[in-house]
Amino acid sequence: MKLVIVESPAKAKTIEKYLKGDFKVVPSVGHIRDLPKSNKKAIDIKEGFVPHYEISKGKEKIVDEIKKLAKKADEIYLATDPDREGEAIAWHIKEAVGLKKPKRVLFHEITELAVQDAIKHPRDIDENLRKAQEARRVLDRLVGYDLSGLIWKKVRYGLSAGRVQSPALRIIMEKEREIRAFIPENFWIITGQFKTKKNQELILICEKEPRDENETNDILAHAKKGSWSITSVKQTEAKRSPKPPFITSTLQQTASSRFGFSPSRTMGVAQKLYEAGHITYMRTDSVNLSTVALSEIYAVIEKQYGKEYLSPRTYVTKSKNAQEAHEAIRITKPSVKHAGTTDEQKKLYDLIWQRTIASQMTDAKILRTKISANISEPNTIPPFSANGNVVIFPGWLSADTGSKGEEIELPKLAEGDPLTLISIESEGKQTEPPPRYTEAGLVKELEKRDIGRPSTYASIIKTLQDRGYVEKINKALLPTDTGEVVSDFLEKNFAEYISDSFTAEMENELDDIANGKKEYVKTLKDFYGPFLKDVKEKDKLEKATVLGEDPRFKCPLDESHGTMLIKLGRAGKFLSCRLFPECLGARKLDGSIMEGPKETGEKCPDCGGNLIEREGRFGKFIACANYPKCKYIKQSPEEEAKKRTGVKCPLDGGEIIERRGRFGPFFSCANYPKCKFIIKSRPTGKVCELCGSLMMEGTKTIPERCSNKNCPNHNPHKLKK
């Protein structure tokens, strides 16, 4: 038996169709090992940045199954994806399963020919490629762990920073500051409606956009009085060349602008198309097309459009680190125009088919026309004009119709032809600030600055949104208050490490490890030593939750305290008295008063402390003054009644009540935290016959079970067995 190991079940199913003989294809279902959450256990820095991996939770059965099959196999092939991450997964499978000499096979498309050819030409695992991925993983963990730890202390617990996500956040913030600094200017657009001598309608726009209303009125007055005629008609024939085949970044950008897909959504859909054998591998920055693919593309163009539409082209890959052995993203069967099982897959496949075919077609020919007109009195007002364009030979636009755009055909006129003014009007507008980045725009900017790599763009943007640093509003990426504070903190204190040049250079060094030009340990040591020193030096900084003064408002409780401070809370920015916590005066940013905590005169039933009324992001509530040590929050009488169980605590006799923690509801003694008795589910009041512990509610299949994990009655199914 010959065993082939891939990542996904869908990929395994497709490949198994193409392999003849005694082949068995099994999936690892992605990564099977990872670094533990604790950084102390994860990486041994002193021994040379040695990572200590462990089997990922839930993957134990998969590893055991692969081990069993590997013992029976005569040959073992590791057919994971053809990139750094795929190489790393292959190595992890080898190490976790204990394979001695597995064969590594690569294919950039899942077709019968490509799969069978790969099996015939195996190689060893590329250690340099694997080490480059390991270096990236270790580096990201070290940077994230140390920077995040500092941000927890200086900004707020639970926040994080990353080696590549932080430069991306800085880029978004730079755009936001540019927008805030923008000063709008007034301008006017003047539009005239005319008729030609053949009674055809013509809309002309003033070529000047006046910044002054008096000048605008002057143009309007002269335009209404003057005698109009055509001053020039210019026609030029232009060519539009097709774009190169898709790479990861351009596919993400085009899918975003055409369909509104996020980068992560695009990559997920592309993954399904790849695994089904419809397209080549979707993580690439090479625009190459194989000679076999090109000959098939040429045949499709000649058959569907004609020989005059064929124009063989070679494109140059811009990225200096792109692997030329890789291909662009293309369809695997050019003759198949439509594929995919879902609407998303069909849309993306069509897009890739169009770009692939169009890339080898002739230029489109466009006739561009500009008509200018003016009044007979020379130099009185600026010229008015209209621009039109008509496709006179479609070329590659026949295949990629989505790139065609709107055609504007103007009436046939000649210089000196008279015009009749029907109406003329002006529209006042303001100059607009530069637009915020869309997801597609940010991908383009990251690629331009050489930050990240094709496989990382989608995860960078998703991470920024998941962590609440950026939110998407009307397709634009806006930094949140938290994102702004974190970015400001990093820019002030770690500007070097989140700069374009440093981040891009680090990516190049990781590429050098992959190419065997640099050593793993030296690269990490050269970076981490100075970085850790800088982090430790910043440990003495003040907390960064104070963002400066707001001179517009005084403290609502005592005006003698002067201007208020802008602070960052969990719900965003707010204004606080500079004497906090002695003075609890606070306002919202719009100036409305936020009432400080108020004594209620009641005592906390958990710890005996005072109950006070607070204001949170969801409104007012009553809680213990000893928060966060005591997490008691008062509920309505109805809610309180629901939480009572009527069951006595076996330790001190207090009533067991329902509470809520960070991981959901739990049940504990009313005298908590003095009494530490806790169970996960609602107690039934009965006692376990085997161990004497309290019984608690179970599920539909297990009505009740013992609260003692070590008791067989904790899982009655096991007891029956």
- What angle is formed at CA 158 by the lines to CA 152 and CA 159, rounded to 5 degrees? 70
Q: Alpha-carbon distance 209 to 430, whole Å?
A: 11
Tell me how far CA of residue 222 lies from CA of 225, 380, 545, in angstroms: 5, 8, 60
Catalytic residue flag (residue 632): no
Q: How many Cβ atoms sit within 10 Å of the Cβ of residue 549?
A: 14
Q: How many Cβ atoms sit within 10 Å of the Cβ of residue 111?
A: 17
The answer to whether 704 and 696 have CB atoms below 8 angstroms apart is: yes
Q: How many Cβ atoms sit within 10 Å of the Cβ of residue 591?
A: 12
Q: Alpha-carbon distance 514 to 129, whole Å?
A: 4
Alpha carbon 372 to chain centroid, angstroms? 47
Q: Which residue type is seen at 10? A: A
Q: Return the SS3 of 289.
A: coil
Q: How far apart are the first and last CA of the chain?
A: 36
Q: Return the SS3 of 615.
A: strand
- Residue 482's φ and ψ, nearest 5 degrees, are -65, -45
The token duo for 540 is: 């003495």
Q: Is the peptide bond before 434 cis (omega within 30 degrees of 0)?
A: no
Q: Which residue type is seen at 408? A: I
Q: Alpha-carbon distance 148 to 154, whole Å?
A: 10
Residue of 54, 147, 136, 39 lying closest to 92 (CA atoms): 54
- Residue 55's φ and ψ, nearest 5 degrees, are -60, 130
User: Crossing angle of helices 439-448/457-466, nearest 10°?
Assistant: 130
DSSP string, 107-169: -SB-SHHHHHHHHHS-B---HHHHHHHHHHHHHHHHHHHHHHHHHHHHT-TT----TTHHHHH
Tell me how far CA of residue 606 lies from CA of 49, 391, 584, 611, 628, in angstroms: 47, 78, 25, 11, 13
**At a CB cut-off of 8 Å and minimum separation 6, what does 37 contact?**
none
Residue of 599, 263, 229, 257 lying closest to 384 (CA atoms): 229
The answer to whether 438 and 478 have CB atoms below 8 angstroms apart is: no
Q: Return the SS3 of 513.
A: helix
Q: Which residue type is seen at 510? A: L
Q: Of 18, 77, 145, 281, which is the active-site residue? A: 281
Helix H segments across 278-427?
Answer: 291-304, 343-358
Residue of 415, 416, 421, 384 lying closest to 227 (CA atoms): 421
User: Crossing angle of helices 439-448/263-275, nearest 10°?
Assistant: 80
Q: Alpha-carbon distance 222 to 219, whole Å?
A: 5
Please classify residue 497 by burial: count the beta carbons closer than 10 Å to its beta carbon, then call 0-12 exposed, 13-18 middle and 19+ buried.
buried
Q: Alpha-carbon distance 236 to 548, whole Å?
A: 58
Q: Give the H/E segment covering residue 96.
A: helix 84-97
Q: How many Cβ atoms sit within 10 Å of the Cβ of residue 325?
A: 10
The catalytic residue positions are 281
